[in-house]
Amino acid sequence: MKKQVFRKFAAGALALTLSFSLFGGAKQANAQAALNVNADGAILVDAETGKILYEKNGESPLGVASMTKMMTEYLLLDAVKRGKVKWDQEYSVSDLVYKMSQPRDLSNVPLRKDGKYTVKELYEAMAIYSANGATIALAEIIGGSESNFVKMMNEKAKKLGLKHTKFVNSCGLNNRDYHGEQPEGSGPEDENVMSPEDVATLAFHLINEYPDVLKTASTPMKVFREGTDDRIVMKNWNWMLPSLVYGYQGMDGLKTGTTDFAGYCFTGTASRDGKRFITVVQNAVGANGNGDYKSRFDETRKMLDYAFSTTTKEEIVPKHYQVKGHKTVPVVKGKEDQVKIYTKSAIDMVIENGEKNSYKPVLVLDKNKINKDGELTAPIKKGEKIGYLTVEPKNGDKIKYLTAEGQKKVQVDVVAAQDVEKANWFVLMMRGIGNFFGDVWDGIASTVKGWF
């Protein structure tokens, strides 16, 4: 069934627009050969800009299992930010949540039928222990029902630009585990699907917009309902956290997932030496071709080791940089006839080692600021934005980013380096007279030249 779904969606996958076209063919081929990630889908990106360093079947929808919970986390944190939900808000357990929270083989903290739980407790159970019943409870709190919440998930997916995603429930289980009580509009065997690019994009938004999520995601162990008969030790399923079995330096998130349909999945993120990366593996398998709990972490380690060892974060363009041949822009109606321009700030970017000189600056002037002749009109204030500057590989390759927002992080404003005051009426008049007679003289000279 998995292969059928994979082929169905892969055949209909849409190409991304030119502005996010494929990053460096030769370099990506090098990464492809060096990594050889054993998974149906995988991706490695710079977490600050969303620059894609490596991907395998990046646009192909695949099972995601409990990585789904990142969308539930995103919507919860958004609701808290907007004051729609409070951390100390209490929840009374519904019949569905009670039933779904009892099976321990589904990753759960059993919730009492007559119990009351705070949003914070349920959130920690979801983010640390991947508790499914607690996740559905949060869906009910935010959406009123899980069915309505799933609609919110799919709507948010569209707004975030997730083109190859379909959610059928809030937690990532196969719908058969609902025993006929799955969210409305979905079938009894349906399961959530996302492409590696979509998973990485969701993670990118989550950790950049709500960075505190990493404080919870990096918690190796927490006790649920300490001091009560319901006490449960919640051990984080992300065994790559530094203090756990497959500890990795700098690892602090983000979400595992496993079902028969999805296989072993993991969205990881780690930070070292001023660099942070996001990785995704879907249906990871070991060297023997079989999937197991460890395989997703082994494949993640491959990508992170590659990223930290073969890339560096460098200043590509310094502050107050002036593009050769474009250090000034002509000005009309000003006391000066041109103005110096430079970058307001520097451009820092994660690049492959030794590739700093492989990039060229690209200057884009604001069409609303310049006339058809490429001139600015006085007055102009020092620091006024004139356009922006970005960088591209000199060899003509294009850099691929997850989002337009990320791409803008490697753009800097180009501003006026000085004031240019507007010339007074007398100066403008005299210039006009001078231009008039200059045009007349040019006409006469041209005519005379024609006679001889």
pLDDT given at position 321: 97
Triad 4, 182, 147: Cα angle to 5°: 110
Q: Which tops the pLDDT comparison, 16 or 346?
A: 346
pLDDT given at position 17: 26
User: For residue 28, what pLDDT band results from cuts at 50, 70 and 90?
Assistant: low
CA gyration radius, the chain:
28
User: How many CB atoms sit inside 10 A of residue 192's CB?
Assistant: 30
User: For residue 288, what pLDDT band results from cuts at 50, 70 and 90?
Assistant: confident
Among the listed ranges 147-156, 270-279, 282-291, which one has the minimum average pLDDT value? 282-291
Beta strand segments in 239-384, E: 251-259, 263-272, 275-284, 311-317, 328-332, 338-343, 347-352, 359-365, 376-377
User: For residue 106, what pLDDT band results from cuts at 50, 70 and 90?
Assistant: very high
**Among this protein's residues, is 130 annotated catalytic?**
yes
Average pLDDT over residues 134-162: 98
User: For residue 33, what pLDDT band results from cuts at 50, 70 and 90?
Assistant: low
Tell me the CA distances in angstroms from 423 to 228, 230, 373, 427, 438, one per residue in order. 80, 79, 19, 6, 20
Q: Which tops the pLDDT comparison, 443 or 255?
A: 255
User: For residue 338, what pLDDT band results from cuts at 50, 70 and 90?
Assistant: very high
User: How many CB atoms sit inside 10 A of residue 185's CB?
Assistant: 11
pLDDT given at position 432: 54
Average pLDDT over residues 409-422: 94
Amino acid 336 reads: E
Among the listed ranges 144-158, 350-364, 434-448, which one has the minimum average pLDDT value? 434-448
pLDDT digits (tens, 9 = 90+) for 375-396: 999 999 999 999 999 999 999 8
Instruction: Please determine, for residue 437, whether its predicted confidence score (pLDDT) is greater than 60.
Output: no
Average pLDDT over residues 446-452: 47
User: For residue 228, what pLDDT band results from cuts at 50, 70 and 90?
Assistant: confident
Amino acid 148 reads: N
pLDDT digits (tens, 9 = 90+) for 342-375: 999 999 999 999 999 999 999 999 999 999 999 9
Average pLDDT over residues 187-196: 97
Catalytic site residue from 101, 107, 130, 218: 130
Distance CA 437, CA 174 (A): 83
Among 282, 330, 333, smallest CA distance to 64 is for: 282
Instruction: Please determine, for residue 64, whether its predicted confidence score (pLDDT) is greater than 90.
Output: yes
Catalytic site residue from 27, 56, 69, 302: 69
pTM value > 0.75 = yes
Q: Which helix (H) or strand (E) holds 195?
A: none
Percent of the chain residues topping a pLDDT of 70: 86
Average pLDDT over residues 28-42: 80
Tell me the pLDDT of the chain averaged across its residues.
Answer: 88
Buried b (16+ CB within 10 A) or exposed e, 66-80: bbbbbbbbbbbbbbb
pLDDT given at position 8: 36
Average pLDDT over residues 235-261: 97
Instruction: Please determine, for residue 144, whether its predicted confidence score (pLDDT) is greater than 50.
Output: yes
Triad 254, 160, 307: Cα angle to 5°: 45
pLDDT given at position 435: 53
**Among this protein's residues, is 66 annotated catalytic?**
yes
Distance CA 391, CA 410 (A): 7
User: For residue 187, what pLDDT band results from cuts at 50, 70 and 90?
Assistant: very high
User: For residue 333, what pLDDT band results from cuts at 50, 70 and 90?
Assistant: confident
Q: Which tops the pLDDT comparison, 427 or 153?
A: 153
**Mapped to the 3 state alphabet, what secondary structure does 363-377 carry?**
EEECCCCECCCCCEE
User: How many CB atoms sit inside 10 A of residue 435's CB?
Assistant: 10
Instruction: Please determine, for residue 294, whether its predicted confidence score (pLDDT) is greater than 80.
Output: yes
pLDDT given at position 290: 79
Instruction: Please determine, for residue 431, whether its predicted confidence score (pLDDT) is greater than 90.
Output: no
